Structure 1
Amino acid sequence: MSADRAYSNRKIRPYLRSRGIRDVIPEKKDNKAARLRRGSRGGRPCDFDAARYKKRNTVERAINKLRQFRAVATRYDKRGYVFLGSVTAAALMIWLRT
């Protein structure tokens, strides 16, 4: 799971770890400073893979391009398979434009 620094806290990380979800959430600067200030009692630093975090931007931009289409952004369709068709059609139109 990739997220912003806003989602970096002591409750979310153990929850994700207990469910077997690898997180890519950068540590807040004040949390890092507090951890370093406490020394060995401060705990271990959080796992952070910068390369995976950079890929998050690519996914966000793709979703934003899809949301330019009204049917995808508002999800007017009742059925999931119809919505999937709308997303597929929007993705094809984006692909053909580039």
Structure 2
Amino acid sequence: RTRPQMVLADKAYSSRANRAWLRNHHIKATIPIKADQAAHRRAKGSRGGRPPAFDPIAYKDRNAVERCFGQLKQHRGLATRYDKLAVRYQATTHIASIDHWLKRLT
């Protein structure tokens, strides 16, 4: 197994526990902070601490990956995971990717 260098996630995963787990495993987190968490930190003043690190350029890449998955899931077999074997699911993913690529050529 390999450890990821960075995790890109949306605001739903911006909890303190998630960030602490990633920090303990030496994984960088690029997760936008929720508005209520930012307001709470500002209300605490200097005791609120620094805001967590956020890389907007890396976060834009996450959006591109999510859109790609959304387009692949247009295929019913991928969206519902009819193929239970990993090899068949991977083959279905390849076919859907080729189909998507061919549609973009025309």
> TM-score over 0.5 for the alignment?
yes
TM-score, normalised relative to structure 1: 0.89
Amino acid at match of 2:76: R
More strand per residue: 2
Q: 50-59 vs 28-37, which deviates more? A: 28-37
Equivalences, count? 98
1:10 is displaced (CA, Å) by: 1.4
1:18 is displaced (CA, Å) by: 1.0
Equivalent residue runs for 1:14-25 within 5 Å? 14-25=20-31
TM-score, normalised relative to structure 2: 0.83
Structure 1, gaps ≥5 residues long: none
Match status 1:57 vs 2:63: yes
Structure 2, gaps ≥5 residues long: 1-6
Match status 1:35 vs 2:35: no
Equivalent of residue 7 in structure 1, options 13, 21, 39: 13
1:7-53 CA distance string (max 9 Å, x none)? 21211111111122221111122222222332332122101000111
Percent identity reads 45
1:52-93 CA distance string (max 9 Å, x none)? 111111111100111011111111112111110100010001
Amino acid at match of 2:82: Y
Q: 24-33 vs 60-69, which deviates more? A: 24-33
Root-mean-square deviation (Å): 1.3
Work out the CA distance in 2 between the residues paired with 1:43 and 1:76: 47
